[in-house]
Amino acid sequence: MSNQNVLVTYSAPVSFLASESWRQLPLRSIHWKSASRPNLKTIQELELTLVPLDSLRDEHTSQVPVTLLEKPLLNLYVVTCEDNDSYKANVKKQIKDWHSTISQRKNQEWIIVHVVRSDIKTTDRKFFNMKSSVLDKIKADFNIDKRDRCVQLSWTAGDHSPIIWADLVNKIKDGLLSALDSSVSQREEEVRRSESQRQMPGWNFCTFFILKESLASSFEGVKLFEDALRQYNELEVSFIQVLREKNMSWFGSLIQPVDKDDSVPLLSTTKKYYRDLILANSISVFDLRIYLLARQCALLNKMCRPSEICQKVTTFLGTFGRRLREVEAKLPEYFIESWIFSSALSVVDQCDTWAFTTELDGIQLTRFSASKGELVELAKSQLDIIGVKVGHLPKKPPFTTTCMDEIVVHTEQISKRSSTRRISNHEITLAIGNKDAFYDLYCTTSNRAIDMYVKAGRRKFALKLHGFLAALDIHRGRLESALAIFTSLPAHYAPHMWISLESFVLSRALNIHAELEKSPDREWIYILLAYLRTCTNDMSKELTSEVGEEKSVIQLIRALHTAAATLDSDLVHTDHPIIAVQVSGDASCSGDEDLALVDATVSNHLPCDVFVDEINITLRGRDSERLKFIAKVDKLPPGQSIVTLFCPSSSWGLYILERSEVVMSRVRLQWQHANTAVTTSKKNHISLVRVPRSLRALDVQIRQPQQAELGMTSHLLLVISTGQNDISRATIKPTSPSGVQFNFSAARLEAKGQGTGTLEASDNAVVLLDAPVHAEVVISLPHSDASRYHSMKIWLNVTYNTQSSMGVIRTLQTSRVVAVSLPIAVNVEDFFRGKRLFSKFTISATSHQHVRISSTELQGARSLDGVKISGCRPSRPVMTVTPEQPVNFLFSIESSNGPVLDPLNLVIKYRILRDEVEALVRQTVEAVLLSMPVEKLQYGSLRRTLIDKVVAQLESNAEWVEAYRCTGEIILPRSFEDGGDFQGPIREALAQCRSETASPCPWREIKIPVDVPRMNIVTAVQITVQPSSLPSDIQSDQLPQIYAGQPINATLIFKTSFHWAEKEGKQRCYTMRYDVEERVKDWLLCGRKRGDFVATDGGSFAVPLTLIALHHGEITLPKVDVRPLPISTQASMGSTVPSADTCQAHEAEKVLILPRGGRSTYVVGMGGESE
């Protein structure tokens, strides 16, 4: 239907019409708010057609409803009169004649435009004029109702400013909207009245169609495309209702095919006179539906929605094509297929033409490409039907479907066609008669659909069409090409879970592989494994029969096992669903050997036995610890079965199932259960497996040696408990942290002899040979400096075999943490007193552990002469060092030969409180077990179990620590109830009082080298005080009383010694500088408070001072700071400061100062009578 603009008539002078600048068109941004519509409608741009009023003929109203835009909606009358007299004489009558003509027309508005020249209007404003203007008179004469339909335009020819046109444009918009609203309301009322009479006799759907379409055409003319499309959608619903009621008396037959009906463009509205056929009530349902679809698609194109056009056409062709099957006998042969094929491709071409001028964003373009792909695929499906009918394609999947089978059967049942016409599509006609032309057309159409699906990102749809092309290659005998396609397609189908298509493609690949008579190779195994994956899904059962023509699933499994044995290397396939392996529960330990057992649930999802060689699982524990459980199996029956797997290991702890594997000769099916993205799905979960500890198995512990010496090579002790194993060969590979190296070649046995085994030299491990049952072998292993670590975590990897089973390699993978730093820290402070040196050693704890100190001893070398070392006797036999309370030890070093050149050794015997308590617990448990009837075989495991439980209870609650430190009693927590019959005796034995040395725990010994310091100058400073009134020979302890403010004579005495200096320095002299402390709150000093003196070995120097106490009380004497001055040396070409130490000899002395006393007499009058 042709687009028609809104008509507006005008009557105006010739001079005004000669200028084009007054036509301010098109109108923009028109907002229509109708009372019958809840929403505001916006017309972005509206084209107007201005026609002279005289050019329209007043024809009689037609009986055929037409668009509302065929008649004007607005009438303009332009007045250029500026004189009131001229208006009264001529113009008023002209306007009245025009108004009387216009007012008789329904649903039309009018506007009178008074045009004045802008310059004249400005001149008039200079004069005072009481008369009304021409515009006022026009308004008074013609504005009958309240609405103002008169507007003034101040305009001059050539003036293009849009401002002067604003009032007129707004009036035009208001007039058009008012006329449009009234016209639409009247027409909508006519449509509702006609629709309400549908059940009455004489009602005609075709008449109703034309009436409602006139409303849609009117909306289309004013650019309200959504409202126009709604009218056609409502017409479609009404037509469907008529079909349901089977009231088809207003239509012709379902279809009256004419030439080229099967090949003309579907969306063309000019190929037939559709409106004439509708008005004549002779249009067929086929033509009416096509016309209605074409009008809907035209509106969708104007709304820039091309993807909806394709979707709507796809739905229409599918549904109406099935309707045409009902009258297929009356149609030319292949008419329906040709019509759908031609219509689908024509719509794609038409949409491409429409979309060429439209800018589509990414999402819209994707949808558009997908919709076109569906249309082209629909065209391709018609070629499937034609190909099967004429024999160009085989009558089997994928070319046939259930729907297609019904079509072919229905076609075969047609005995004779009543139509003698032939289809007009040349391509279809040529394809029917020529097989090669058909194949070319089929491939071209399929590839076109594939390209569109690829642009839309619909890979699955594109891959499906690739499968059709591969099936076509099979039919044409191109097996190599078909095999290449079928082999590549499953990789694309699998991620999208198209199981049925994947199964179909893989079955075709297996069949082609067999037809080519290729031997089963690695590629064939991959195809078969992929096909078996699809066989586990219920959706693919209908397709398994295709392979059943060649081989059953059982035969395929046997062929897989045979082909796997011919591979030259392992083929690993992950996450295959035909088999699932899960751990049923916790593991268990064998009673007579180091062996762990675990039950696994193996699910075979195939309906037949699967032939395998081995099943194994890998458990992952702490750090890099892994255990591999293996079971030899011949076959797995369908469904679930329990398989017991074995691992020759003495490792224990909590593990997770990391990987499972089923070995089928060279084919390894693996499943990852941890540390993969698969475990995050709901289908999989982490399986925890607890491997219990066997108390009779091999065990390796690491501890520090009992004796250590700082500065020497560090050692660790490997304690190997053989348990129930008669070790033939054991290889222990400890892995140290970064920066620490083990010296394996220097490892040695701590106790040699029969029953401890022997060591074999090795550079990368410790190798133990011939260790008997229930032996404890201790090996000392040197290592490099580890002082930067507080503790070391050492990974142990032990492999061993026993005399009883030499062919079985057993493992132990575990980690041990050993403290390498000392539990105590030692600080020393030295005090020089003449020929004596006092050293105070402060021992503190470096951790939260309490440390017992048995003894400390400062030892010198035996060759050390003239040195006497003595220490203070401790107050208690055992001292306890806590984190809050360190312990001090004082030693005196007296040297008669000057400085001590050789280092001394501080020897400390200590043990940690935890080790002490554990030894008591061990001793107590052993004593209780020996006092009660216990079987010899159960003694070892029971002893270790009870010790671990008691220690765990003590670790969980530290309330017993203070009581143990005071009385030696170990009070077990009340929560300890796991001791069974031994609980009471153990609790009573531990609660006994005991001395600090009662624990059997051996004392550790640490030897710390101590360098004796050297000092160039040792100065003793003393201040002696004496009142000036006494002779100088009176001692300070015989001093009389001293009062505050009293001058006191004092002497500052310096005594220097070079006893602790090097031999070369004893002959020198040093300049010393002293400085007496200023204590302005206690003393007032007079004399030489600061000065220099020369120090010599054994020399002295005295300085007189005067002290005045500033207050009473016991006051300490001032301190004196003495320091050497730098001396120049020729060796270093500079100056050095000799070392010096100062002792304040008077530091502990105090002087008692008394307050100054006095007496004063005062006479106070008592107030006698004489006064």
d(CA 1129, CA 1135): 6
Q: Which residue has the higher pLDDT, 198 or 298?
A: 298
Look at residue 670 and tell me whether its pLDDT is greater than 90: yes
Work out the average pLDDT over 1088-1109: 91
Element (H, E) at 904: strand 904-912
Q: Does 539 have pLDDT greater than 50?
A: no
Average pLDDT over residues 248-263: 79
DSSP 265-311: -TT-SSSS-HHHHHHTT---HHHHHHHHHHHHHHHHHHTT-HHHHHH
In this structure, what token pair is assigned to residue 886?
């360190």
Binned at pLDDT 50, 70 and 90, residue 1066 comes out as confident
For the chain, the first-to-last Cα distance in angstroms comes to 146
Parallel, antiparallel, or unpaired: how do β-strands 653-664 and 614-620 relate?
antiparallel
Edge-first strand listing for the sheet containing 1070-1076: 1090-1095, 1070-1076, 1120-1124
When mean pLDDT is compared across 315-329, 393-407, 608-622, 1043-1057, the lowest value belongs to 393-407
Confidence of residue 1162 (pLDDT cuts 50, 70, 90): confident
Residues 764-781 have a mean pLDDT of 91
Confidence of residue 348 (pLDDT cuts 50, 70, 90): very high
pLDDT at 1028: 53
pLDDT band at 1009; cut points 50, 70, 90: very high
Q: DSSP letters along 510-531, please?
A: HHHHHHTT----HHHHHHHHHH
Q: Is the pLDDT assigned to residue 251 strictly greater than 70? A: no
Please give the pLDDT value at position 532: 83
Question: According to the model, what pLDDT value does residue 678 have?
Answer: 41
The yes-or-no verdict on residue 1091 having pLDDT over 90 is: yes
Residue 899 pLDDT greater than 90, yes or no: no
Categorize the per-residue pLDDT at 1128 as very low, low, confident or very high, splitting at 50, 70 and 90: confident
Report the range of poorest mean pLDDT among 20-29, 188-197, 574-583, 915-924. 20-29
The phi, psi pair for 109, rounded to 5°, reads -110, 165
Residue 122 has pLDDT above 50, yes or no: no
Flag the least confident range among 390-399, 427-436, 1030-1039: 1030-1039
Supply 793's token pair.
Answer: 């975590």
Q: What pLDDT band is residue 345 in, cutting at 50, 70 and 90?
A: very high
Pairing of strands 48-52, 653-664: unpaired
Is it the case that residue 559 has pLDDT exceeding 60? yes
| Amino acid of residue 988 | E
Average pLDDT of the chain, as a whole number: 83
User: Which comes out higher in pLDDT, residue 362 or 642?
Assistant: 642
Q: What percent of the chain has pLDDT over 90?
A: 31
Residue 78 tokens read as: 């332009």
Confidence band, pLDDT 50/70/90 cuts, at residue 550: very low
Specify the pLDDT at position 644: 94
pLDDT at 127 over 60: no
Is residue 124 over pLDDT 50? no
What is the rounded average pLDDT of the residues 1138-1167?
Answer: 83
Q: Which of 710, 617, 703 is nearest to 656 (CA)?
A: 617
Question: Span 872-887, mean pLDDT?
Answer: 85
pTM: 0.59
Mean pLDDT across the stretch 755-768? 87
Selected residue with higher pLDDT from 156 and 266:
266
Whether pLDDT at 131 is above 80? no
Q: Which residues contact 507 (CB under 8 A, 6 or more apart)?
A: 531, 543, 544, 546, 547
- Per-residue pLDDT at 1035: 55
- Residue 509 · residue 541 · CB < 8 Å: no
Residue 143 confidence (pLDDT): 83
Is 745 strand, coil or helix? helix
> Which amino acid is located at 909 in the chain?
K
CA atoms within 13 A on the CB side of 736: 21
- Summarised one tens digit per residue, pLDDT across range 466-485 is 888 888 888 887 777 777 77
Q: Is the peptide bond before 398 cis (omega within 30 degrees of 0)?
A: yes
Q: How confident is the model at residue 522 (pLDDT cuts 50, 70, 90)?
A: confident
**Three-state SS string across 962-1017, please?**
HHHHHHCCCCCCCCCCCCHHHHHHHHHHHCCCCCCCCCCCCCEEEEEEECCCCCCE
pLDDT at 545: 45
Sign of torsion over alpha carbons 61, 64, 68, 71: negative
The pLDDT value given to residue 452: 94
Is the dihedral angle over the CA atoms 424, 426, 428, 431 positive or is it negative? Answer: positive
Confidence of residue 17 (pLDDT cuts 50, 70, 90): low
Tens of pLDDT, residues 178-209: 888 888 888 888 888 888 887 787 788 888 88
Question: Do residues 905 and 1008 lie in contact, with contact meaning Cβ atoms separated by under 8 Å?
Answer: yes
pLDDT at 915 over 70: yes
Averaged pLDDT, 92-116: 87
Question: Tell me, what's the pLDDT at 1074?
Answer: 94
From the CA atom positions of the chain, what is the Rg in Å? 57
Which of 407-416, 556-565, 903-912 is predicted with the least confidence, judged by mean pLDDT? 407-416
In percent, how much of the chain has pLDDT > 70? Answer: 87
Q: Which of 596-610, 726-740, 863-877, 972-986 has the lowest mean pLDDT?
A: 972-986
Burial class (CB in 10 A: 0-12, 13-18, 19+), 937: exposed
Residue 647 banded pLDDT, cuts 50, 70, 90: very high
Using the predicted structure, report yes or no on whether residue 121 has a pLDDT greater than 50: no
**pLDDT-wise least confident of 262-276, 497-511, 929-943, 1125-1139:** 497-511
Q: Which residues, including other chains, have CB under 8 Å from residue 845's CB and lie 6 or more apart?
A: 823, 824, 825, 851, 881, 882, 883, 886
Residue 357: the pLDDT is 81
618 contacts 627 by C-beta, under 8 angstroms: yes
pLDDT number for residue 20: 56
Tell me the CA distances in angstroms from 542 to 381, 397, 535, 537, 548, one per residue in order. 22, 12, 10, 11, 11
Give pLDDT, residue 106: 86
pLDDT mean over 950-973 = 85
